[in-house]
Amino acid sequence: MTETTVFPEGFLWGGATAANQVEGAYDVGGKGLSVQDVLPHGGIGSPRSEGPTPDNLKLEAIDFYHRYADDIALFARMGFKTYRFSIAWSRIFPKGDEAEPNEEGLAFYDRVLDELEKHGIEPLVTISHYETPLHLAETYDGWVSRDLIGFYENYARTLFERYGARVKYWLTFNEINSLLHAPFMSGGISTPKEQLGEQALYQAMHHELVASARATRIAREVAPNAQIGCMVLSMPVYPLSPDPADVLQVMKSDHANLVYGDVHTRGVYPGYFLRTLHEKGIALDITDQDRDDLTNTVDFVSFSYYMSIAETAGPAKKVSGAGNIMGGVPNPTLEASEWGWQIDPVGLRIVLNQFWDRWQKPLFIVENGLGAKDQLVEVDGVKTVVDDYRIAYLNDHLVQVGEAITDGVDVLGYTSWGCIDLVSASTAQLSKRYGFIYVDRNDDGSGSLARHPKKSFHWYAEVIRTNGASL
Ligand code: BG6
pLDDT of residue 418: 98
Pocket of ligand 1 (CB under 6 A): 18, 21, 130, 174-175, 233, 304, 323, 367, 371, 417, 424-427, 432
> What is the C-alpha to C-alpha distance for residues 276 and 157, in angstroms, rounded to an integer?
34
Specify the number of domains making up the chain.
Answer: 1
* Phi, psi angle pair for 257, to nearest 5°: -95, -35
Q: For the segment 115-159, what is each residue's pLDDT rounded down to a tens digit?
A: 999 999 999 999 999 999 999 999 999 999 999 999 999 999 999
pLDDT of residue 113: 98
Minimum-distance ligand 1 atom for the alpha carbon of 130: 8
Minimum-distance ligand 1 atom for the alpha carbon of 427: 14
DSSP state of 420: B
Per DSSP, the residues of 341-406 read PBP-HHHHHHHHHHHHHHH-S-EEEEE----B----EEETTEEE---HHHHHHHHHHHHHHHHHHH
**What confidence tier does 317 reach under pLDDT thresholds 50, 70, 90?**
low
> What is the C-alpha to C-alpha distance for residues 422 and 57, in angstroms, rounded to an integer?
10
In a domain, residue 164? The reply is yes
Over residues 158-184, the mean pLDDT reads 97
Per the DSSP assignment, residues forming a β-bridge with 305 are 234
**How far, in Å, is the centroid of ligand 1 from the Cα of 426?**
6
Over residues 56-61, the mean pLDDT reads 97
DSSP state of 144: G
- CA-only gyration radius of the chain, Å: 21
In this structure, are residues 366 and 353 in contact, taking their beta carbons and an 8 Å threshold? Answer: no
Q: For the segment 421-430, what is each residue's pLDDT rounded down to a tens digit?
A: 999 999 999 9
**How far, in Å, is the centroid of ligand 1 from the Cα of 177?**
13
Q: Which amino acid type is present at position 305?
A: Y
Closest residue to atom 14 of ligand 1, CA basis: 426
Per DSSP, the residues of 103-120 read HHHHHHHHHHHHHHHHTT
CA distance from start to end of the chain? 15
Q: Does the pLDDT value for residue 175 go beyond 50?
A: yes
- CB burial of 259-297 (b: ≥16 within 10 Å; e: otherwise) equals bbbbbbbebebeeebeebbeeeeeeeeeeeebeebbebb
Minimum-distance ligand 1 atom for the alpha carbon of 42: 14
In a domain, residue 454? The reply is yes
**How far, in Å, is the centroid of ligand 1 from the Cα of 308?**
15
Give the catalytic positions in this structure: 367
Share of the chain above pLDDT 90, in %: 92
Helix (H, G, I), strand (E, B) or coil at 469: coil
Q: Does the pLDDT value for residue 162 go beyond 80?
A: yes
pLDDT of residue 235: 94
Closest residue to atom 12 of ligand 1, CA basis: 425
Least confident piece of the model among 21-30, 93-102, 334-343, 356-365: 334-343
> What is the C-alpha to C-alpha distance for residues 348 and 282, in angstroms, rounded to an integer?
34
Provide the residue range defining the domain that includes 366.
12-465
Q: Does the pLDDT value for residue 49 go beyond 90?
A: no
Q: Does the pLDDT value for residue 167 go beyond 90?
A: yes
Q: For the segment 60-105, what is each residue's pLDDT rounded down to a tens digit?
A: 999 999 999 999 999 999 999 999 999 999 999 999 999 999 999 9
Mean per-residue pLDDT of the chain: 96
- Nearest Cα neighbor of 123 from 5, 258, 223 is 223
ipTM over 0.95: yes
User: What CATH number does the domain containing 370 carry?
Assistant: 3.20.20.80
Q: Does the pLDDT value for residue 229 go beyond 70?
A: yes
* Phi, psi angle pair for 435, to nearest 5°: -75, 165
* Phi, psi angle pair for 113, to nearest 5°: -65, -35
In a domain, residue 355? The reply is yes
pLDDT of residue 48: 87
DSSP state of 8: P
62, 338, 426: residue to mutate for ligand 1 pocket, most atoms within 8 A of CB:
426
Closest residue to atom 4 of ligand 1, CA basis: 425
**What confidence tier does 314 reach under pLDDT thresholds 50, 70, 90?**
confident
Q: Does the pLDDT value for residue 1 go beyond 50?
A: no
In a domain, residue 3? The reply is no
**How far, in Å, is the centroid of ligand 1 from the Cα of 432?**
10
Long-range contacts of 340-344 (CB under 8 A, 24+ apart): 341/306, 341/307, 341/371, 342/307, 342/308, 342/309, 343/307, 343/370, 343/393, 344/236, 344/307, 344/308
Minimum-distance ligand 1 atom for the alpha carbon of 424: 16
Closest residue to atom 9 of ligand 1, CA basis: 425
Q: For the segment 371-400, what is each residue's pLDDT rounded down to a tens digit?
A: 999 999 999 999 999 999 999 999 999 999
Measured CA distances, 205 to 139, 156, 183, 236, 376 (Å): 18, 18, 10, 21, 42
Q: Which amino acid type is present at position 71?
A: D
In a domain, residue 317? The reply is yes
Q: Regarding beta strands 411-417 and 12-16, do their DSSP bridges make them parallel or antiparallel, or are they unpaired?
A: parallel
> What is the C-alpha to C-alpha distance for residues 462 and 395, in angstroms, rounded to an integer?
12
In a domain, residue 471? The reply is no
Torsion of CA 271, 147, 257, 124, to 10 degrees: 130
Q: Does the pLDDT value for residue 2 go beyond 80?
A: no
In a domain, residue 5? The reply is no
In a domain, residue 470? The reply is no
Share of the chain above pLDDT 70, in %: 97
Q: Does the pLDDT value for residue 3 go beyond 70?
A: yes
Q: Does the pLDDT value for residue 160 go beyond 60?
A: yes
**How far, in Å, is the centroid of ligand 1 from the Cα of 245?**
32
